[in-house]
Structure 1
Amino acid sequence: MSQSASLADYRTALTAPGARGPVITSLLGRLPIAMVGLALMLYVQRETGSFAAAGLVSAGALIGVACGSVAQGRIMDRVGPTKPLYVMSAVFAALVTVEVLVIEAHAPVALMTGLAFLVGLSEPMVGPASRALWSQLLPPGPARNAAYSYEAISMETFFILGPGLAGLMVAMPWPGTGVVVGAACMVLGSVGFASTRAARAQRPEPRQGGTSLLGAIATPGMRTVALAALGFGTLIGFIEVGVPAAAVEAGYPTAGGLLLSVLSISSVIVGVLYGLRPWPRPMHLRLPALLFGFAGLLALLALPSSLWGLCIALLVVGSLITPQSTAHSMAIEIAAPEGTATEAFGWVVTSVTLGAAIGQSVSGQLVELSGPAASFLAASAVGIAVAVVLWLRRRTLLTTTRNDVSLAGV
């Protein structure tokens, strides 16, 4: 299967009959995907004065997302996306309201963290639902591959753009503005997507290996994809705490979110170009190579002595963000059992968010103890170690058995 896509293929995918409504509404629903967690972290940091406490609360939300994305994805694979998105949007809105009240009351960090977990757990998973819908809208071929690449590029764009918006909104008179605005966008986008004709008409695909409790993660290849996404998310988590901490250390606390948004510039540009001619072309080599390169570049963030230098380093680091996300999305087509598309992408979201939770928690502690530079160097070492493990597991994507979910091999 060709894993590259031309610009014409992107145009064909995005203008396909029935695609316009889901594309527009899913964009609104995914815009805050990284904004809510970081806005929550910055909000708590402003209220408590502690990056460690803020990192724990944000990590709680991310772990909730990690748990909820797979469960919601499995349900959507069985009943379609409309009803689950309606229900979770209502629950999510109520829990965000309670969380804001608790933060305003300066409740114990443990309570804030527990509620943050529930907020993440209920976050409506419009991203996996949107990706799965393309198999209904487009036949197999270059246009569908382009659609999957578009999903990855847009997801990563929001993963990077969201922090910038969170940083801007935390500087407003009320620091909780980013949390409320992000949650409102997510609810409106999810409800809008669920109400489109294409989403309401979506029917579950026949499942193979449906009796497996592991579901989409049953194949060794899919577990390799999840590991790649976990390593990627961990490095993103380190960056999302280390960069704002560097801004605070430099005396510009409101610049952290804006600095994070710099990543999106090179990420999107290189991501589109990379989709036209990906390298390495074999997926079993691409996943470890991209993570290894990203981890190596991340060490550059420890070098600058000024925020301008950090800005330039972030442009370089951001170049390998979207290519990784695109590779994860494309690898699902190789590794996941048939009929588990939504759940499989849910595992990718789970892995990225769980990794981000780990990265944010560890980075928060390192920043408090040794400063941002130590956090960036630690992240680089962790990423290289995970890349080595991916290299050792590369053959699980070379001859993966997407239809044989009985395999129990590592």
Structure 2
Amino acid sequence: MSQSTSLTDYRTALTTPGARGPVIASLLGRLPIAMVGLALMLYVQQETGSFAAAGLVSAGALIGVACGSVAQGRVMDRVGPTVPLYVMSGVFAALVTVEVVAIELHAPVALMTALAFLVGISEPMVGPASRALWGRLLPPGPARDAAYSYEAISLEVFFILGPGLAGLMVAMPWPGTGVVVGAACMVIGSVGFASTRAARGHRPDPAERVGSSLLGAIASPGMRTVALAALGFGILIGFIEIGVPAAAVEAGHPTAGGLLLSLLSVSSVVVGVAYGLRPWPRPMHLRLPALLFGFAALLTLLAVPSTLWGLCLALLVAGSLITPQSTAHSVAIEIAAPAGTATEAFGWVVTSVTLGAAIGQSLSGQLVEISGPAASFLTASAVGVVLAAVLWLRRRTLVPTSRSDVSLAGI
């Protein structure tokens, strides 16, 4: 088993030659990752007055991201990230404009959902590109593990800022402000990342390609297990992202939903850093089912509070297992992904999380309309427990093989 990641390893990773430009640009590019979808959902809810319609539109965007992330990742593994990010940034900006016009004109929900899908599929995938770049900037070892942990922790910081910003901007004179600002940050950050020397110097090795397999990274049984873990995680997040704003509306504070969601990530970042220093369970094949089960169990706490203050406390507790799961998914790719598919493999994680979130949001939107937020939280917990059991049955697919670095099992 490898040694636990130290704070020195984080410093080594972030100061390695060639890392500074991509790190700064990717920060801006990924800041809106939890903002655009939520801002779109809140924008539609404000315009239509329906959480069910808002959930469908938001789910459409997430399904689009799920489809686009794998396709973009596979292309980046073959030609590098620069050209794909340039192209998709332009397409994304144009489609966001069309979606905003449709919402302003109160177009049918079906049309807004279809446009949201196109917005999602064109969203530039700077996250997978950034994650894959570490494999080229750093050799296998604690510093690379720290870089992957940094990716997960920084993502959670964005989950703190994103929902809060979305919640604040939907209360501005024009409720679509959050969508436009988030999209602008994503485009600028993605173009900036694509323009860095490290990104432009990316030269994929044809010898590393999987060969004739049309399935690519997901052909690996271990990658299918990682994707299932990410899917379960995304489903639970989707339930929460609809249930919490609905609970805020029910409590008479409709603009507090985004700020409440930010509380999930406050404890997540703190616990995520500590967890990275000494993770448990240490073997990855045990860690994925244990973390999903623990997260599902904690979600039952969200159904208990009768006040917003109680919900705040429950969100802080439940959020503690978010970053540990994100980090585990990223590191598990090192064990599970076939050679030469790093970007696509992380694209599958993004796809699974976003597809799961779309499923969770759609189901949660219907449950909230029928039975209220508490029923949504309890259903999410039950779904999570079932999926954790399936992960346990598939755990052996993540036992390291001779191809994988055996020490990764103990990260």
Normalising by the residue count of structure 2, what TM-score does the alignment of the two structures yield? Answer: 0.96
SS at the partner of 1:320? helix
Amino acid at match of 2:180: V
Find out whether 1:200 has 2:170 as its counterpart: no
How many angstroms does 1:161 deviate by? Answer: 3.0
Is the CA contact (8 Å cut-off) linking 1:220 and 1:400 kept in structure 2? no
- Stretch deviating more after TM superposition (127-136 or 85-94): 127-136
Q: Distance between the aligned counterparts of 1:210 and 1:179, measured in 2? A: 40
Is the CA contact (8 Å cut-off) linking 1:301 and 1:310 kept in structure 2? yes
Alignment of structure 1 residues 11-410 onto 2, 5 Å: 11-205=11-205, 206-400=207-401
Which segments of 5 or more consecutive residues in structure 2 lack a partner in the other structure? 405-411
CA RMSD, Structure 1 to Structure 2 (Å) = 1.1
Q: Distance between the aligned counterparts of 1:399 and 1:226, measured in 2? A: 17
Q: Distance between the aligned counterparts of 2:369 and 2:258, measured in 1? A: 19
Amino acid at match of 2:17: P
How many angstroms does 1:400 deviate by? Answer: 5.0
Q: Distance between the aligned counterparts of 1:345 and 1:368, measured in 2? A: 34
Q: Distance between the aligned counterparts of 1:68 and 1:251, measured in 2? A: 37
SS at the partner of 1:319? helix
How many angstroms does 1:141 deviate by? Answer: 1.2
Amino acid at match of 1:158: F
Q: Distance between the aligned counterparts of 2:199 and 2:146, measured in 1? A: 20
Flag the 1:400–1:352 CA change in 2: closer, same or farther, 3 A.
farther
| Identity percentage of aligned residues | 87
Q: Distance between the aligned counterparts of 1:359 and 1:176, measured in 2? A: 24
How many angstroms does 1:401 deviate by? Answer: 7.2
Q: Distance between the aligned counterparts of 2:349 and 2:377, measured in 1? A: 24
Is the CA contact (8 Å cut-off) linking 1:240 and 1:260 kept in structure 2? yes
Amino acid at match of 1:50: S
Flag the 1:401–1:121 CA change in 2: closer, same or farther, 3 A.
farther
Q: Deviations over 1:131-166 (max 9, x none)?
A: 111122111111111111111211233234312211
How many angstroms does 1:225 deviate by? Answer: 0.2
Which segments of 5 or more consecutive residues in structure 1 lack a partner in the other structure? 404-410
Q: Deviations over 1:141-199 (max 9, x none)?
A: 11111111111211233234312211111111100000000000000000000000110
Aligned to 1:406: none
Is the CA contact (8 Å cut-off) linking 1:3 and 1:281 kept in structure 2? no
Aligned to 2:409: none
Q: Distance between the aligned counterparts of 1:150 and 1:100, measured in 2? A: 34
Is the CA contact (8 Å cut-off) linking 2:95 and 2:119 kept in structure 1? yes
Q: Deviations over 1:364-398 (max 9, x none)?
A: 00000000000000000000000000000001101
Q: Distance between the aligned counterparts of 1:209 and 1:62, measured in 2? A: 28
SS at the partner of 1:342? helix
Is the CA contact (8 Å cut-off) linking 2:29 and 2:189 kept in structure 1? yes
Normalising by the residue count of structure 1, what TM-score does the alignment of the two structures yield? Answer: 0.97
User: 4+ residue runs of structure 1 moved beyond 6 angstroms?
Assistant: none
Amino acid at match of 1:240: E
